[in-house]
Amino acid sequence: MDALILCAGKGERLKPLTENRPKPMIPIAGKPILQHIIDKIEDLVDNIYLIVKHKKENIIEHFKDHPKVKFLEQGKIDGTGEAVLTAKNHIGDEFLVINGDIVFEDTLEQFLKYKYAIAVKEVSDPKNFGVVVLDDKNNVIEIQEKPENPKSNLINAGIYKFDRKIFELIEKTEISKRGERELTDAIKLLIKEENVKGIKLNGYWNDVGRPWDVLEANKYFLDKIKTYISGKVEENVIIKGNVIIEKGAVIKANSVIEGPAIIKKGSIVGPLAYIRPYTVLMENTFVGNSSEIKSSIIMKNTKIPHLSYVGDSIIGENCNFGCNTITANLRFDDKPVKVNIKGKRVESVRKLGVIMGDNVKTGIQVSFMPGVKVGSNCWIGASCLIDRDIESDVFVYK
Ligand code: TTP
């Protein structure tokens, strides 16, 4: 049994986080989405083929020493069907196919019992997903794409079990309206010829497509951590709840850490810093004097040295915050924060701060309004109020 994980997509909806890394390498509770997936399946399969393309170097660097992992490069990024076809001349007779941008809790052992299977997840509002209709024996009888009137509340959860027949069927499919060769079109052909079992996932599942999905999944997995402190903790530090402080991290005097939180190796917190629940500080970050971080992911090498507040935000690598950089994360009217996703203004969640790419520098006293995105390599000049999205590589000075 082999596995195929689809990791080639551009992750447009998660820009700017996906400008320099593929979506599966975005960290959730301190490790990439793809690491969460591989941890779940590595004991079940012989080979794990990763279909890569966009920013593939990140994936190759991280997994190159894994004994079961092999990399295959998709020709063009033109659909999940095309991504699966990339493995045609490599993979064994039967295999799992998994989207590289989902996190889930269920074991996939049950999939191995069937020749053809699809994971389905029950949701309250299935309209924006691929809806799967099952018969009374749980065989798939129909797949509806983002239907106005869904026939069930089960959605395609992005985990499949196939044999090599799927390649023939993908080759028979037409190019879809959005110019892609879609795996689901091949599955629609498959259900006409074979029994395809719908396997209901009972545990947590999240299709990590938008920035607030990243923060939600981060919270879920942080709730599972157990305290493990091997870094240095100076005098008068208060630690509450479950907290991981890795070896090589230092918590300086008079800081407060409220778990669940993860502080990764090489990071320095304090003196007098306040780390609140659901925060992850990736490797070599610095959160200094009177800075407060809440429900946020701060990626590696980023520095927030003094008098700053970062809440419900995702901050990329190698950023540097000037003194008194502040993120707003809540509207006066308590309504969901609006975010631009692929050119559309969409409602997110009640609390959302800033979504920032890599290598951003802010001057002193910079403020961000809720839900704004800041592209990589920007400089934001002193005293700016950022109330709009900023493209990458821009110097904003008023
Ligand atoms: P999508 O959810 O369409 O992922 P995406 O990366 O294209 O994201 P966005 O919509 O934000 O642009 O695809 C599902 C999975 O398939 C995801 O893990 C990426 C992967 N994929 C490929 O490997 N190759 C492809 O050509 C495409 C379109 C997706």
Task: Please give the chain's pLDDT, 398 residues, in tens.
Answer: 999 999 999 999 999 999 999 999 999 999 999 999 999 999 999 999 999 999 999 999 999 999 999 999 999 778 999 999 999 999 999 999 999 999 999 999 999 999 999 999 999 999 989 999 999 999 999 999 889 999 999 999 999 999 999 999 999 999 888 888 999 999 999 999 999 999 999 999 999 999 999 999 999 999 999 999 999 999 999 999 999 999 999 999 999 999 999 999 999 999 999 999 999 999 999 999 999 999 999 999 999 999 999 999 999 999 999 999 999 999 999 999 999 999 999 999 999 999 999 999 999 999 999 999 999 999 999 999 999 999 999 999 97
86: alpha, beta or left, given left = phi > 0 and alpha = psi -120 to 50? alpha
Nearest to 324 by CA among 313, 309, 308, 310: 308
Cα(80) to centroid(ligand 1), Å = 7
Nearest to 222 by CA among 265, 276, 272: 276
Cα(1) to centroid(ligand 1), Å = 24
Amino acid at 352: L
Is residue 234 within 8 Å of 215, Cβ to Cβ?
Answer: no
Q: What SS3 state is found at 253?
A: coil
Residue of the CA atom closest to atom 9 of ligand 1 = 11
Letter string b/e over residues 194-203, b meaning 16 or more CB atoms within 10 A of that residue's CB: eebbbbebee
Report which ligand 1 atom has the smallest distance to the Cα of 342.
Answer: 11
Is residue 331 within 8 Å of 337, Cβ to Cβ?
Answer: yes
Report which ligand 1 atom has the smallest distance to the Cα of 102.
Answer: 18
Residue of the CA atom closest to atom 3 of ligand 1 = 9
Residues known to be catalytic: 306
Residue of the CA atom closest to atom 8 of ligand 1 = 11
Is residue 339 within 8 Å of 211, Cβ to Cβ?
Answer: yes
Give the separation between CA 128 and CA 361, rounded to whole angstroms. Answer: 37
pLDDT tens, 226-240? Answer: 999 999 999 999 999
Amino acid at 57: E
Is residue 329 within 8 Å of 371, Cβ to Cβ?
Answer: no
Give the end-to-end CA distance of the chain in Å, rounded to a whole number: 57
Beta bridge partner(s), residue 346: 339
User: Ligand 1 in contact with 51 (CB < 6 A)?
Assistant: yes
User: Ligand 1 in contact with 8 (CB < 6 A)?
Assistant: yes
Q: How many contiguous H segments (helices) and E segments (strands) does the chain have?
A: 6, 39
ipTM score:
0.95
* Tokens linked to 41: 């399946």
Give the separation between CA 354 and CA 218, rounded to whole angstroms. Answer: 16
- For 325-380, give the DSSP string: -EE----TT-PPPEEEETTEEEE--S----EE-SS-EE-TT-EE-TT-EE-TT-EE
User: Ligand 1 in contact with 351 (CB < 6 A)?
Assistant: no
Is residue 119 within 8 Å of 160, Cβ to Cβ?
Answer: yes
User: Ligand 1 in contact with 13 (CB < 6 A)?
Assistant: yes
Report which ligand 1 atom has the smallest distance to the Cα of 51.
Answer: 23
Nearest to 134 by CA among 156, 161, 112: 156
Residue of the CA atom closest to atom 28 of ligand 1 = 79
Give the separation between CA 386 and CA 375, rounded to whole angstroms. Answer: 12
Cα(8) to centroid(ligand 1), Å = 7
Cα(369) to centroid(ligand 1), Å = 29
Centre a 10 Å sphere on the Cβ of residue 88 and count the other Cβ atoms it contains.
Answer: 14
Centre a 10 Å sphere on the Cβ of residue 397 and count the other Cβ atoms it contains.
Answer: 11
- For 12-56, give the DSSP string: GGGTTTTSSS-GGGSEETTEEHHHHHHHHHTTT-SEEEEEE-TTH
User: Ligand 1 in contact with 11 (CB < 6 A)?
Assistant: yes
Nearest 5°: CA angle at 210, between 204 and 214?
A: 50
Give the separation between CA 67 and CA 329, rounded to whole angstroms. Answer: 43
Burial degree of 10 (CB within 10 A; 0-12, 13-18, 19+): middle
Nearest 5°: CA angle at 60, between 56 and 63?
A: 140
Residue 6 parent element (H or E): strand 2-6
pLDDT tens, 309-356? Answer: 999 999 999 999 999 999 999 999 999 999 999 999 999 999 999 999
Nearest to 314 by CA among 302, 331, 330, 332: 302
Is residue 1 within 8 Å of 46, Cβ to Cβ?
Answer: yes
Cα(170) to centroid(ligand 1), Å = 16
